[in-house]
Amino acid sequence: MATAGVENLVTLLSQREAPSKVNNKAEKELKTFDPKYSVGIDVLPLQTQNLKAKNGDVFNLLLVGESGLGKTTFVNTLFGTSLLPSVWHNVEEITPNVKFDKTTSIVRHTAHLTEDDFNLDFTVIDTPGFGDFVDNSFGFVPITNYIDDQLRLYMFQEEQPNRTKLKDNRVHACLYFIKPTSKGLSPLDIEALKHISNRVNLIPIISKADSLTHNELKELKKTIKEIVEVQNIKICEFIEDEEVKKDILKNIPYSIIGSESVVINEDNNTTIRGRKYKWGIAEVENEKHCDFIKLRDTLMAKNMVDLISSTESYYESCRNKLAKTRIKQARDTLEDNESIKHLNFDDPDKNGLQNQKILSKFNKPFVDELVIEWSPIFIQQQLTQKKKFTQIVQFEEKKFKDWKKALFAKQSTFNGEIEEIHQQIKSLNNSITLLKHPIKDGEDEQVDVGELTDGEGENDEIFDLSKKSENLNIDDE
């Protein structure tokens, strides 16, 4: 009986396992595709490419450098057209009394470019008269503020219910123009490069390379590389592909020549973009003359996607940090708000979607006030005002002490004069008394003045100023 029961159990189990084996076989058969049969997955890359070409992309390039280093000329040379208005336009038309005004604010120039059915919104951000002021201690602050503001603005745009009009003004790359001098980098350049490189993909370039000889340019590049390494200036820090980063580091600083016009090469009777001199032609697209082609490939042909995607990754880290900062600041600023008291401020991730309550309360106006408090210019102004206030207090305290010392000196002088007058009065009182009551022979010369007066006290009231002098006493502190 027992043996039959076990056999029945084994039979039942085998029957249960049988369909499973059949199903596994069917699955294996389903996983085997006919090589000639096309599902359509192979065309997904083409669909993605067409969709990307239709929607286009955005690239924002920041140009930083002192006035007169050819930033506008470089952009126009890069695209082979007058994308930006040139200050030399009026000179070429021989217009008299031309004024060259310095840029006083950050200016954006946007162009819609189309090539092979791909649309690109290319924006160039020109900087203020960088380095043109007497005191350039915080000359980099307007630039770093702009970079940070665009990241915060994009974050607040993403928090809005309607994001169809979301505009991306985040800076993807920064070209820093360096003067073609043998000194390398100035203190202003070093300070600016440090702060900018922490916020955006930084690429230093030497402008007007045709003003240097080959040996001078080679030596200048070597000097700048050494300074960049010693000062720990980060070049394209946010690019994740190490091979791409190494390739860029190998070529920095790029040397460029800018020219918006073409010249005729008399050797082969061809037109080229460059500058014509007595000794020859400095060609823009000749790698023996400058690194313009390498820089153009880095920005456009090879690494634009890397620059855009790395900026996106950096933005995500900034968004995470700013969100947590807003939550922590809300705990202190909005501590009386009952709707957020129960939330976990130490570990915001545990709040889930409840964090949106905090973020909606601690919104852009609160963040703007916080940014002002963090501004190095504001901090420096605070320290300056505190120093001035301390100097004013010290000056007033010294002035008060000097006044008090002079007052005590006058009091001492007055008290001495009062004492002297008092002695004169006493002497006069004695003389008056002696005149009224002459001393008889044998009497003591000591006379009680109070007893010898006529009883009316007229002399005391008129001459005794000792009581009045008590009112002039000035107590010390």
pLDDT at 88 over 60: no
Q: Is 175 helix (H, G, I), strand (E, B) or coil?
A: strand
Residue 322 pLDDT grade (very low, low, confident, very high; cuts 50, 70, 90): confident
DSSP secondary structure string for all residues of 21-42: HHHHHHHHHHH---TT---SGG
With contact defined as beta carbons under 8 Å apart, do 177 and 186 qualify? no
With contact defined as beta carbons under 8 Å apart, do 181 and 216 qualify? no
Please give the model's pTM, rounded to 2 decimal places: 0.69
- pLDDT, residue 1, reads 45
Identify the residue with better confidence: 29 or 123: 123
For the record, the structure tokens of 11 come out as: 């039979």
The stretch 101-108 carries a mean pLDDT of: 61
The stretch 8-13 carries a mean pLDDT of: 42
Q: What is the share, in percent, of the chain residues with pLDDT greater than 70? A: 72
With contact defined as beta carbons under 8 Å apart, do 274 and 281 qualify? yes
Class of domain 52-302 as given by CATH:
alpha beta
234: amino acid identity, one letter: K
Backbone φ, ψ for residue 61 (5° rounding): -115, 125
| 281-284: long-range contacts, CB 8 A cutoff, minimum separation 24 | 282/210, 282/257, 283/257, 284/77, 284/257, 284/258, 284/259
- pLDDT, residue 101, reads 47
Residue extents of the structural domains in the chain? 52-302, 392-472
pLDDT at 13 over 60: no
284 Cβ neighbours under 8 A, 6+ residues apart: 77, 257, 258, 259, 272, 273, 274, 290, 292
Instruction: Average the pLDDT over each of 122-131, 201-210, 337-346, 384-393 and give the range with the smallest value.
Output: 337-346
With contact defined as beta carbons under 8 Å apart, do 293 and 307 qualify? no
The stretch 409-427 carries a mean pLDDT of: 91
pLDDT at 143 over 50: yes
461 Cβ neighbours under 8 A, 6+ residues apart: none
233 Cβ neighbours under 8 A, 6+ residues apart: 190, 193, 194, 197, 202, 227
Q: What is the largest CA-CA distance in the chain?
A: 170
